[in-house]
C-alpha cells in the first residue's frame, strides 16, 4: 500500500474514534482540573494533621498552579515539536506518581513539593488535550467538542471539593491524591489506542532561553503576590522578587521578539479573538477560584460542616459550569461569541457582591443560588473564549495556543488565591484585633493567623471566653470573605466593558483565519497544516 493510502486509513480511523478520543481527553482534563480545588476541603485536616500555617496552606494550593502556570508554555512548545500524545502520556505518568508522593507526605514541605510535581505533570497534560481536539475534529464539530471539553474542565474544578469531601468522610486526607493513580494509569492505557499523535510539521528547536525566562517571570509574580503581604510592602525580599520578576519578563519579551524560533509569537496578541479570549478566561477564573477558596473555609470553619457536607454544597457550581459550557456553544452560534462571553462576566459581576449579604448562619437557600450562578457565569465564558483562542491560530501551533489558554486560566487562579486570600486574611486579622487583645501573645497570633486556628484556640478557652472568640472569628471571616471577592466582581465588570468594545462579535471563521491575515499584512510565512499520525504512533 502506498504512503498516501496508509495516511488515508490512519485519518479515517482517527475520525471514527474521535468521540472516544474526546472521552479520554476529557477524563484527563477532569483529573487535572479537580486538583486545582480538591485540596480546599482538606484544609482543616491538613492544618490539624500537618500543623500547617496559613502561608503553608496557601502554598499547598498554589505550588500546583505555580509550577503548572510556569511550565505550560514550555510544555506546549514540547508538544508541538515532539508529539502531543506522547507528552500527554508522560504527563499522566508524572501526575500519577506525584499524586502517590503527595498522599504519603509527612510534612507541609513534602506535600508542597509533591504538589509542584503534580503541577509539572498537569502542564504536560492540559495543552495536549485541547490541541489534540483541534487536530481531530473538523470545523463543524469543533465548537461542540470544545464545549464538552470546557464543561469537563469547569466541572472538574467544581467537583474537586465534592470528591474531596466524600473521600475525607471515609478515608484519610491522602485519599484525595491516591484516587488519581488508577485514573491516570487507565487514561495512559486508553490513550495508546484512542489518542492520535500530532505535531507541528516544522521541525524547530525548542526555545530553551525563552522557557527559563517565562518560568522565572510567572513564578516570580506569584511568589511576590503570595508572600508579599507577610514580608511587608517595604521589605527587601519583596523588592528583590519584584525586580527579578520584571527582569525575567522584560528578558522574555526581548528574547522572544528577536530569536529565530520563539516559544510564543507575540503576533498572536495582535489577533483580536486570541487576545480577548485569553483575557476573558483569565477574568472568569480569577473571579471563580478566589470565591471557591474562601467558600470552602466559610462552609467548614464558619458554618461547621464536615468535609463531605461542605463538598456537596459545591454541586450547584458543577451543574452551573456544565450547563453554561454546553449551552454556550449553541448560544455563541446564534448570538455571537462576544455577547455570550460578556453575559457570563455580567453574571459574575452581579453575583459576587451578594456574598456581602451572607452572615455566619446564612441558610443554604441563600448561598446555593449564588454558587450556581457563579458556576453558570464561568461556564458561559470559558467554552466560547477557549474556542475563540484556538480558532484564531493555525492548527500547527495548537499546543502553544492551548498552553496560552491554560496559562491564562492557571495564572488567574493562582493569583486569585494569592490576592483574594491575602486580602481576606488581612481584613480578618484587622477585624479580629479587639477579640484577641486579652489573650497571651502566642494564642492571639495563632487566632489571627486563620479562622481555623481561631476555632481551635477557642476550644481551649473557658466557656464564655471561648464562645466569644469563636463568634468574633466567624463573623470577622464572613465579613472578610464578602469584601475580598468584590475584587473579582470589579475585574469582571471592567472586563465586560472592555470586551464589549474590542472582542469580535461572531464565531471563529476557521483555524488561523485571523493569523493568516496578520501574516499576510506583515509578509511573514503562510500557515502550515498539521499532520495527524495514526493512533499510538
Which residues face 531 on adjacent strands? 199
- The grid cell for 427 is 481584613
| Residue that has been written with the C-alpha cell 465534592 in this structure | 162
Residues whose CB falls within 8 Å of the CB of residue 138, separated by 6 or more in sequence, listed in order: none
pLDDT tens readout for residues 447-494? 777 777 787 777 777 777 778 877 888 888 888 888 888 888 888 898
Which residues face 535 on adjacent strands? 196
Q: How far apart are CA 95 and CA 180, in angstroms?
A: 8
> Does residue 396 carry a pLDDT above 60?
no
Based on the number of CB atoms within 10 Å of its own CB, is 42 exposed (0-12), middle (13-18) or buried (19 or more)? buried
The pLDDT assigned to 98 comes to 92
> Does residue 386 carry a pLDDT above 80?
no
The pLDDT assigned to 143 comes to 66
SS3 201: coil
| DSSP state at residue 95 | H
> Does residue 398 carry a pLDDT above 80?
no
Question: Domains along the chain?
Answer: 3-206+263-535 (1.20.1250.20)
Note the residue count of the chain: 537
The pLDDT assigned to 104 comes to 87
By mean pLDDT, which of 207-216, 305-314, 407-416, 451-460 is the weakest? 407-416
Highest mean predicted confidence (pLDDT) among 96-105, 406-415, 511-520: 96-105
Residues whose CB falls within 8 Å of the CB of residue 294, separated by 6 or more in sequence, listed in order: 420, 421, 424, 481, 484, 485
Amino acid at each position: 500500500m502506498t504512503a498516501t493510502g496508509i495516511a488515508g486509513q490512519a485519518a479515517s480511523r482517527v475520525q471514527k474514534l474521535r468521540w472516544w478520543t474526546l472521552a479520554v481527553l476529557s477524563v484527563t482534563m477532569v483529573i487535572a482540573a479537580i486538583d486545582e480545588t480538591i485540596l480546599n476541603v482538606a484544609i482543616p485536616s491538613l492544618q490539624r494533621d500537618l500543623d500547617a500555617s496559613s502561608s503553608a496552606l496557601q502554598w499547598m494550593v498554589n505550588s500546583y498552579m505555580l509550577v503548572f502556570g510556569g511550565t505550560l508554555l514550555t510544555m506546549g512548545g514540547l508538544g508541538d515539536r515532539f508529539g502531543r500524545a506522547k507528552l500527554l502520556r508522560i504527563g499522566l505518568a508524572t501526575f500519577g506518581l506525584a499524586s502517590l508522593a503527595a498522599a504519603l507526605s509527612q510534612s507541609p514541605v513534602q506535600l508542597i513539593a509533591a504538589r509542584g510535581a503534580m503541577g509539572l505533570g498537569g502542564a504536560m497534560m492540559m495543552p495536549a488535550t485541547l490541541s489534540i481536539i483541534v487536530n481531530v475534529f473538523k470545523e463543524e464539530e469543533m465548537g461542540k467538542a470544545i464545549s464538552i471539553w470546557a464543561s469537563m474542565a469547569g466541572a472538574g474544578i467544581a467537583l474537586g471539593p465534592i470528591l474531596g469531601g466524600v473521600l475525607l468522610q471515609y478515608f484519610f486526607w491522602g485519599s484525595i491524591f491516591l484516587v488519581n493513580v488508577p485514573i491516570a494509569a487507565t487514561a495512559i492505557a486508553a490513550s495508546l489506542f484512542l489518542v492520535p499523535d500530532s505535531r507541528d510539521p516544522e521541525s524547530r528547536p525548542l526555545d530553551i532561553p525563552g522557557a527559563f525566562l517565562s518560568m522565572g517571570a510567572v513564578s516570580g509574580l506569584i511568589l511576590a503576590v503570595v508572600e508579599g503581604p507577610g514580608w511587608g510592602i517595604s521589605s527587601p525580599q519583596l523588592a528583590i522578587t519584584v525586580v527579578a520578576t520584571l527582569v525575567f519578563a522584560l528578558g522574555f519579551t526581548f528574547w522572544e521578539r528577536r530569536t529565530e524560533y520563539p516559544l510564543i509569537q507575540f503576533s498572536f496578541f495582535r489577533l483580536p479573538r486570541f487576545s480577548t479570549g485569553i483575557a476573558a478566561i483569565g477574568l472568569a477564573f480569577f473571579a471563580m477560584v478566589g470565591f471557591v477558596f474562601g467558600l470552602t473555609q466559610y462552609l467548614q470553619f464558619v458554618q461547621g460542616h464536615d468535609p463531605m457536607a461542605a463538598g456537596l454544597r459545591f454541586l450547584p457550581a458543577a451543574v452551573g459550569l456544565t450547563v453554561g459550557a454546553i449551552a454556550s456553544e449553541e448560544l455563541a452560534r446564534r448570538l455571537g461569541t462576544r455577547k455570550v462571553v460578556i453575559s457570563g462576566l455580567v453574571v459574575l459581576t452581579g453575583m459576587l457582591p451578594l456574598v456581602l449579604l451572607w452572615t455566619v448562619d446564612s441558610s443554604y437557600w441563600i448561598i446555593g443560588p449564588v454558587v450556581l450562578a457563579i458556576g453558570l457565569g464561568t461556564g458561559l465564558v470559558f467554552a466560547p473564549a477557549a474556542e475563540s483562542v484556538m480558532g484564531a491560530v493555525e492548527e500547527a501551533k495548537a499546543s502553544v495556543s492551548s498552553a496560552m489558554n491554560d496559562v491564562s486560566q492557571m495564572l488567574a487562579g493562582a493569583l486569585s488565591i494569592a490576592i483574594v486570600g491575602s486580602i481576606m486574611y488581612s481584613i480578618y486579622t484587622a477585624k479580629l484585633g479587639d477579640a484577641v487583645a486579652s489573650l497571651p501573645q502566642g494564642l492571639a497570633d495563632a487566632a489571627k493567623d486563620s479562622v481555623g486556628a481561631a476555632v481551635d484556640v477557642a476550644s481551649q478557652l473557658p466557656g464564655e471566653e471561648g464562645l466569644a472568640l469563636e463568634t468574633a472569628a466567624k463573623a470577622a471571616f464572613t465579613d472578610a470573605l464578602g469584601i475580598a471577592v468584590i475584587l473579582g466582581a470589579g475585574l469582571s465588570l471592567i472586563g465586560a466593558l472592555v470586551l464589549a468594545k474590542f472582542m469580535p462579535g461572531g464565531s471563529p471563521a476557521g483555524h488561523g483565519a485571523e493569523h493568516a491575515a496578520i501574516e499576510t499584512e506583515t509578509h511573514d510565512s503562510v500557515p502550515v497544516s498539521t499532520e495527524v499520525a495514526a493512533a499510538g504512533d
